[in-house]
A = this chain, B = another copy of it.
Amino acid sequence: MHTLYSMQESGNCYKLRLAMAQLGVPFRIIDMDTRKGDTRSEEFLNINPNGKVPILVLEDGRVLSESNATLFYLAHGSALLPDDTFGQADALRWMFFEQYSHEPYIAVARSRLHLLARREENKDRIGEWHERGHAALKVMDRHLGERDFFTGARYSIADIALYAYTHVAAEGDFDLRPYGHINAWLARIAAQPGHVDIAWRP
């Protein structure tokens, strides 16, 4: 059985719980709390020198890090990843978009304002988070105006990657009401067979 080093509130960790639930991959969880320094211990740094979760340790002992690279590994050969090279690159395109243009603003705003409740000390950053986060949401909304899922007609790990923090964006004070296509897409994702919410654990 695989072992997931995970923080329950983390959207990056949720991506892997959701994908493994839908793929029927059994796994156990080791809970980590980055706020208590769990990911900076020498023991953990030997597993991931970058000191972040999620980490997936495969049954054979090999280690995967970076949530979206791990999604690629888990979904390869399944219906959650296109089987042609262009389709895989197109899914990865949205996953790189998520990590570069979306997560640093939408997830970080949620973390600082909601999970850590440090609004006052971040008051000079909130404007930039919202400006850049809304820019990412506009790109998503425009793209979803012409297709049901990010890579086209079929649900994939690109949708899982972008769903993780978009569906809780309100916790970072993002108002999603103007984004009609995103809202319809969020409902489609939540209606997928085997969908589990962020609180779910195996």
A residues neighboring B (CB under 8 Å): 49-50, 62, 64-70, 72-73, 76-77, 85-86, 88-90, 92-93, 95-97, 99-101, 103-104, 139, 142-143
Q: Report the minimum CB–CB distance from A180 to chain B (whole Å).
A: 16
CA A5 – CA B68 in complex, angstroms?
26
Q: Is the interface of A mostly helix, strand, loop or mixed?
A: helix
The 3 A-B pairs at the shortest CB distance, nearest first, are namely A73-B89, A69-B92, A66-B96
- Chain B residues within 8 Å of A72, by CB: 88-89, 92
Q: Is there an interface contact between B93 and A65, defined as CB atoms closer than 8 Å? A: yes
Known: A69-B89, A73-B89. 5 other contacts (CB 8 A): A66-B92, A66-B96, A68-B92, A69-B96, A95-B96
**Bound form: Cα–Cα A89–B76 in Å:** 10
Chain B residues near A142 (CB, 8 Å)? 49
Residues of B within 8 A of A50 (CB): 97, 101, 139
